[in-house]
Structure 1
Amino acid sequence: MKLSERIYEHAEKIWPRYLCHPFVTQMADGTLPQEKFRYYMLQDYLYLRDYVKIFAAIIPKADDFEQIRFLSGELAGTIDETFRTHIPYMKRLGITEEEIRSAHAHIDISAYTHYMICEAQMGDVLTGLVTLLNCSWSYAYIAEQMVKRYPNALQNENYGSWFAGYVSEEYRKTNQALIDRIDTLAVSIDEKETQKLCEIFEKCCLFDLRFWDVVYTMGES
């Protein structure tokens, strides 16, 4: 069994909770108050700022040029996407550059990214990629499932582009490349290491669930 298949067994216990979270369901049916989405975009921007640091942390651990090429490409691609899509999206929501500069991550989100970075720094390339996997894979899962349940989600003027981005073929390929890379690196690991990586992934799943709680309550819970 591939590592991604073992990991997915853990995802199946938690991901369905994402699909019934009010932030996600209200995005899909178009009723989410825009101020909640605005708060989400700011917090997600701060999350992404730490997310890319994980690639930077594991590049020195890579032992061949092909591996460095992949990790550098993922790092550059995430940064490019932030400037091409995320920041313009925030500006359309009326988020000013001053708000972006002065924003602080909620303590729960800081705990999440701190956990990811610590595991990546202590582990190898495979460990670092596993810390990144839930964010990438679960967004693809959420978007696909919610578009099936709410066919009009893609047409919503406020949130349609969010769903469209994560059901796109480009995103699917990027996410699959990450999964394939993880499976390749995990070919020779033993059961103890497999269990450790599954535990890291499951913790990231739970942190992500808390992320949805935080943005829905706008940090007040």
Structure 2
Amino acid sequence: MKTWAQQLYHFYTHFTPGELPNHVAWLFPQRQPEVRKVVKAFLDKYYNDRNERRLLLGINPGRFGAGVTGVNFTAPKQLTEVLSIPHPFKSQSELSAEFIYDLIAAYGGPEAFFGRHFIGSVCPLGFVKGGKNINYYDDPALLAAVEPFIIESIETQLRLPVDRSACGCIGEDKNFKYLSKLNERFGWFDRIAPLPHPRFVMQYRRREKEQFIDRYLQFLH
């Protein structure tokens, strides 16, 4: 049986996304050799095993985190300062990444966190329209077009040794409702746990960040 690193690297570098409606374009950073190199370094460092892990699924990658690095909820600054992974990207950060890496520190650090969890996305590729991020659920025609890809992607990840007793859903409104609906159809997980989206916390409730981190820790433990 292949390791998490081997299977995830193949997963993230072999997408064949179809056409999108309404002038929406795919955000597919793993097409670029420099991104593939970073993704491989990250996976080889933290996922070179066959251990059981629990999934957390965000919405879809955005332009300034995974849309640059190819690593979910990870901007170039975290690659350098936390993970010590070299890269050619401009040293920028991103609000969601800052929250997630504060959470990882509170959990016990990258080795402890990534050793027991994998953060993915309901849709593993992102979307751009008019130079701005768009989420898979923002446009009904887009959602209809990408739903088969979403289902196939989740089922591919579930071929890994995943703890199916619970899945953390990052985004407790539309992302949670949609993932819950899919889970009712396919029975992937025993339960879906809604978790506040890091961008919401950092933009609107930053003073309460520690309380939101505690909510995540309760799920993770």
Higher relative contact order (CA 8 A, sep 6+): 1
- Higher radius of gyration, 1 or 2: 1
Under a length normalisation based on structure 2, what TM-score does the superposition of the two structures give?
A: 0.29
Q: Which has the higher strand share?
A: 2
